[in-house]
């Protein structure tokens, strides 16, 4: 079992290096040129990228099936690194949680690689792109399967650097390079706290092994476990784009659309939620950390849903939706609903990857990200239309699609904790519960607005409405299947089954949000339903001006200090250094006068010295 899990993570890693080293030469060997561009079917880097991920998917399915048939924890250790204090055990841990998340990661990674073959056809840097996607997948699988927190952290950071390169793939576009730098810096800010939290937890527990930390979490000193949990939350907020470190995710939409599906929908952003679930007993032993997580989740889910409601860019709608849905998972964890939160992580990975790839189909055809440039696309793009309809319905929580099952289970967990009590304070539990209900209505509203403005009404562009490449449309259609049926797999667990009361409440809120958006659109299909927001729309569209606040409170002061340092360096430090050099030069000029190489001067000096000596002798003696 551990050997299979190792291969699941190792194959994408090998694919990354093979793609970098042999991708271009293999393309030439296969003769994969068509009209000056690489033919998708015979694309060397594509074969190197897709085949290992496909094998990893099969192996991950075998691992997941084995764990399902025989539940339990399997561990294996490669080596022990002695550090002088707490050793690092390089090994893997496979259980139900890691097995099912790894399967989801492989599914999404394969879909992205296949989709990218057509989406980036002819891109001169496709080899490096596919290699970084493979390396990113390997790093995420290392995070999922890792049995040691420091090994997990290694994969965590490799994901960060891969996201930097992938977001900035088209680095010649200034917006892309800036988005990549912003994503890297903001997530690194959270990762500083995450690393310190890992060290505090490891030193406090005397081990970095996850299973030992989980087993002994309740016995650790309260101050240690609380400090560690709060520090871990800093990394979680950065990686999972939660308030206040959420601002990088919408800007990251500047990267290629398949990367939005891979990193910003199903894998990297889910890593923070996964880590909290992985060491959940640590957070159970720190109620203060759960309360902070719950409050941050409410702010993120409601605020991001409001922002999504007013966006003009299709990908930014989905980006803010991702922040909101990740907050739903975090809210589930905050109220003790570990299983519902992971269930929503899985269903979200399916329908959000579907939505981003379907959005890529729309963008390729329309040549624009703007909702105002769409309209009437359902007639010429039936596969994309029905697939995206499934994705948006699952996002909104339309029964019986997957999102309805998972979101309803999170709401039920919040309701139970609010009424009956739990690890978090009653006020926080009620706040989480009410925030979830409000988010259901807001999600239905912006999902309906996006659906109507994209596929209905009169066409608002001069482009030909057609399906894009079969590689793209068929991949989207394939992802629509798990997005539709994945929720039924939760019926086997009692805590994931829907119940009549909460389910009816969710459906009523869904109808209110979707119905309101439809009525506003139906008044004039040529206009944006978001106009009804009135003066609030600019506030929502700018996501409550958090970026502007950071710019005023952090960016501008830092730049002002940097300018002062530059002036100080030039006028004081550099002046002192150059002044010393100039003084030495002037002194040297004077000291070299007696050594000018003129023999007559030397003889004159010699004679003058003799005269002075003789005169001194005569006078003194």
In this structure, is residue 327 part of a structural domain? yes
- HSE toward the beta carbon, residue 532, CA cutoff 13 A: 15
Residues 322 and 460 in one domain: yes
Residues 364 and 484 in one domain: yes
Residues 411 and 500 in one domain: yes
Between the CA of residue 297 and those of 261, 416, 435, 436, 574, what are the distances in Å? 22, 18, 9, 10, 49
In order, the DSSP letters of 537-569 are: HHHHHTGGGHHHHHIIIIIHHHHHHHHHHHHHI
Section 461-465 average pLDDT: 85
Residues 561 and 467 in one domain: no
Read off the DSSP letter of residue 573: I
Residues 477 and 556 in one domain: no
Q: Could you tell me the two tokens for 216?
A: 């002994």
Distance separating alpha carbons of residues 104 and 137, to the nearest angstrom: 11
Q: Could you tell me the two tokens for 58?
A: 């099969």
Which tens digit of pLDDT belongs to each residue from 259-305? 888 876 667 888 899 999 999 999 999 999 999 999 999 999 999 99
Which tens digit of pLDDT belongs to each residue from 165-199? 999 888 888 888 899 999 999 999 999 999 999 99
Section 508-537 average pLDDT: 92
pLDDT higher than threshold 70 for residue 423 = no
Residues 494 and 555 in one domain: no
pLDDT higher than threshold 90 for residue 471 = no
Number of residues that make up the chain: 621
Residues 477 and 563 in one domain: no
What confidence category does residue 477 fall into, taking pLDDT thresholds of 50, 70 and 90? very high
Give residues with Cβ within 8 angstroms of 530, minimum separation 6: 309, 310, 449, 537
pLDDT at residue 316, as a whole number: 93
Section 61-65 average pLDDT: 93
Q: Residue 506 is part of which domain span? A: 295-541
In this structure, is residue 206 part of a structural domain? no
Find the helix packing angle between 126-145 and 96-119, rounded to 10°: 170
Residues 567 and 492 in one domain: no
Distance separating alpha carbons of residues 558 and 576, to the nearest angstrom: 25
Strands 74-81 and 88-94, sheet pairing: antiparallel
Average pLDDT, the chain: 88
Residues 563 and 454 in one domain: no
What confidence category does residue 335 fall into, taking pLDDT thresholds of 50, 70 and 90? very high
Section 340-349 average pLDDT: 93
pLDDT at residue 36, as a whole number: 45
In this structure, is residue 553 part of a structural domain? yes
In this structure, is residue 462 part of a structural domain? yes
pLDDT at residue 30, as a whole number: 58
Which tens digit of pLDDT belongs to each residue from 547-593? 999 999 988 999 999 999 988 888 888 888 888 888 888 887 777 76
Which tens digit of pLDDT belongs to each residue from 195-246? 999 999 999 999 999 999 999 988 889 899 999 999 999 999 999 989 999 9
What b-and-e string marks burial along 63-93, b requiring 16 or more CB atoms within 10 Å of the CB?
Answer: bbebbeeeeeebbeeeeeeeeeebbbbbbbb
Share of the chain above pLDDT 70, in %: 95
Most distant CA atoms of the chain, gap in Å: 128
In order, the DSSP letters of 297-338 are: HHHHHHHHHHHHHT-SBHHHHHHHHHHHHHHHHHHHHHTT-H
What confidence category does residue 34 fall into, taking pLDDT thresholds of 50, 70 and 90? very low
Residues 522 and 564 in one domain: no
In this structure, is residue 395 part of a structural domain? yes
Q: How far apart are the first and last CA of the chain?
A: 108
State whether residue 90 is helix, strand or coil: strand
In this structure, is residue 536 part of a structural domain? yes
In order, the DSSP letters of 119-178 are: HTTT-TTHHHHHHHHHHHHHHHHHHHHBSBHHHHHHHHHHHHHHHHHHHTTTTTSHHHHH
Which tens digit of pLDDT belongs to each residue from 426-440? 789 999 999 999 999
Residues 434 and 572 in one domain: no
Measured over the CA atoms of residue 280, residue 505, residue 308 and residue 114, the dihedral's sign is positive
Which of the two residues, 23 and 493, has the higher pLDDT score?
A: 493
pLDDT higher than threshold 70 for residue 41 = no
pLDDT higher than threshold 90 for residue 602 = no
Question: Which residues are 88's β-sheet partners?
Answer: 81
Question: Which residues are 37's β-sheet partners?
Answer: 34
In this structure, is residue 126 part of a structural domain? no
Residues 490 and 400 in one domain: yes
pLDDT at residue 574, as a whole number: 81
pLDDT higher than threshold 70 for residue 613 = yes
Neighbours of 292 (CB within 10 A): 19
Distance separating alpha carbons of residues 373 and 368, to the nearest angstrom: 7
Which tens digit of pLDDT belongs to each residue from 381-416? 999 999 999 999 999 999 999 999 999 999 999 998
pLDDT at residue 39, as a whole number: 47
CA angle, 159 as apex, 156 and 161 as ends, to 5°? 115
pLDDT at residue 459, as a whole number: 86
Domain termination residue (choose one: 486, 510, 541): 541
Closest Cα to residue 521, out of 360, 328, 375? 375
pLDDT at residue 28, as a whole number: 64
pLDDT higher than threshold 90 for residue 128 = no
Section 596-609 average pLDDT: 75
Structurally, how many domains does the chain consist of?
Answer: 2
pTM of the model: 0.89
pLDDT at residue 24, as a whole number: 67
Distance separating alpha carbons of residues 244 and 413, to the nearest angstrom: 25
In this structure, is residue 593 part of a structural domain? no
Distance separating alpha carbons of residues 145 and 91, to the nearest angstrom: 9
Which of the two residues, 266 and 619, has the higher pLDDT score?
A: 619
């Amino acid at each position: 079992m551990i050997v299979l899990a190792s291969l699941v993570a190792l194959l994408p890693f090998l694919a990354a290096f093979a793609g970098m080293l042999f991708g271009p030469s293999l393309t030439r060997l296969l003769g994969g040129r068509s009209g000056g561009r690489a033919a998708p079917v015979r694309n060397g880097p594509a074969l190197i990228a897709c085949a290992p991920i496909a094998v990893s998917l099969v192996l991950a399915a075998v691992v997941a099936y084995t764990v399902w048939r025989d539940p339990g924890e399997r561990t294996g250790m490669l080596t022990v690194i002695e550090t002088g204090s707490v050793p690092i055990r390089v090994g893997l841990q496979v259980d139900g949680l890691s097995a099912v998340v790894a399967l989801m990661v492989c599914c999404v990674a394969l879909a992205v690689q296949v989709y990218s073959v057509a989406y980036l056809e002819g891109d001169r840097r496709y080899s490096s792109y596919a290699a970084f996607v493979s390396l990113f997948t390997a790093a995420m699988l290392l995070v999922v399967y890792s049995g040691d927190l420091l090994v997990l952290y290694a994969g965590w950071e490799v994901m960060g650097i891969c996201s930097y390169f992938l977001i900035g793939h088209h680095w010649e576009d200034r917006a892309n390079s800036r988005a990549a730098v912003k994503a890297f810096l903001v997530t690194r800010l959270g990762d500083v706290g995450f690393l310190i939290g890992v060290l505090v937890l490891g030193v406090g527990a005397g081990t970095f092994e996850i299973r030992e930390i989980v087993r002994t979490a309740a016995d650790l000193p309260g101050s240690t476990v609380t400090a560690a949990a709060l520090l871990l939350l800093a990394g979680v907020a950065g990686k999972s784009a939660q308030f206040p470190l959420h601002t990088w995710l919408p800007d990251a939409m500047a990267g290629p659309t398949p990367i939005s599906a891979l990193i910003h929908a199903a894998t990297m952003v889910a890593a923070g939620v996964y880590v909290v679930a992985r060491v959940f007993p640590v957070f159970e032993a720190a109620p203060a950390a759960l309360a902070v997580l719950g409050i941050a989740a409410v702010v993120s889910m409601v605020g991001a849903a409001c922002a999504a409601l007013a966006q003009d860019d299709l990908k930014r709608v989905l980006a803010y939706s991702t922040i909101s849905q990740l907050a739903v998972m975090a809210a589930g964890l905050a109220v003790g609903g570990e299983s519902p939160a992971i269930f929503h992580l899985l269903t979200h990975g399916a329908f959000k990857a579907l939505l981003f790839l379907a959005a890529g189909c729309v963008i390729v055809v329309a040549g624009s990200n703007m909702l105002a440039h769409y309209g009437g696309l359902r007639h010429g793009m039936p596969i994309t239309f029905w697939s995206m309809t499934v994705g948006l319905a699952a996002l909104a929580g339309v029964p019986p699609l997957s999102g309805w099952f998972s979101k309803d289970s999170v709401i039920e967990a919040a309701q139970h904790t609010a009424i009956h009590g739990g690890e978090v304070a009653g006020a926080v539990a009620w706040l989480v519960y009410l925030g979830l209900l409000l988010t259901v209505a807001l999600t239905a509203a912006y999902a309906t607005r996006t659906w109507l403005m994209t596929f209905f009404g009169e066409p608002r562009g001069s482009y030909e409405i057609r399906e894009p490449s079969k590689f793209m449309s068929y991949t989207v259609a394939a992802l629509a299947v798990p997005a539709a049926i994945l929720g039924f797999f939760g019926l086997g667990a009692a805590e994931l089954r829907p119940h009549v009361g909460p389910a009816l409440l969710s459906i009523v809120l869904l109808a209110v949000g979707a119905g309101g958006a439809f009525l506003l659109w139906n008044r004039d299909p040529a206009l944006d339903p978001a106009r009804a927001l009135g003066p609030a729309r600019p506030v929502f569209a700018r996501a409550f001006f958090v970026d502007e606040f950071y710019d005023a409170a952090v960016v501008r002061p830092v730049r002002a200090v940097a300018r002062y340092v530059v002036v100080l360096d030039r006028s004081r430090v550099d002046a002192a250094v150059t002044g010393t050099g100039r003084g030495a030069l002037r002194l040297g000029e004077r000291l070299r006068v007696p050594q000018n190489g003129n023999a007559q001067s030397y003889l004159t000096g010699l004679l003058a010295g003799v005269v002075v000596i003789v005169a001194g002798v005569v006078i003194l003696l």
